[in-house]
Copies of this chain bind each other. A is one copy, B any other.
Amino acid sequence: MPMKIGQFSRESELSPHTIRYYEKIGLLQKADKDDSGHRIYDEADLDLINWVTCLKKSGMPLQKIKRYVEAYRHNNNSEVTEILGLHLVKLKAQQVDIEHYIDVTKKKLSQLKKSN
């Protein structure tokens, strides 16, 4: 179950560089180290990093994810809920925007077809 950064990297699909970077900026807590000073991670770390990746892919900046992770670590449920609630609102707005951009792009494309 416990793994070093190499396996953790493969399972999370983030490079070791990126994982250390996330630790450096405080997004991830300082990982425990084994006797040779190598970072060790477990399933809980993997669940967290995967959720972090999901938040990141959905457009949340690392600074905000950092605040989320901190609130999560401190069991501050109300802040976690607030951050996710706001995130949901933004995602819905993005959804509306994208629909609009799809429409506009389609129109532009059909105008182009006509002018041929």
Contacts and interface: CB of A to CB of B under 8 A. Distances in A.
A10 interface: no
A26 B112 CA distance: 24
Interface string A49-86: 00100100110000000000000000001001100110
Chain A interface bracket (under 10, 10 to 19, 20 to 34, 35 or more): 20 to 34
Interface in A87-102: 87-88, 91-92, 94-95, 97-99, 101-102
B91 A108 contact: no
Nearest to A104: B54
Contact of A101 (B57, B81, B113): B57
A105 interface: yes
A87 B102 CA distance: 9
Given A51-B108, A84-B112, A95-B99, 6 more contacts: A58-B97, A80-B112, A87-B105, A88-B102, A95-B95, A98-B98
8 contacts: A54-B101, A58-B101, A77-B115, A81-B113, A84-B105, A88-B102, A88-B105, A98-B98
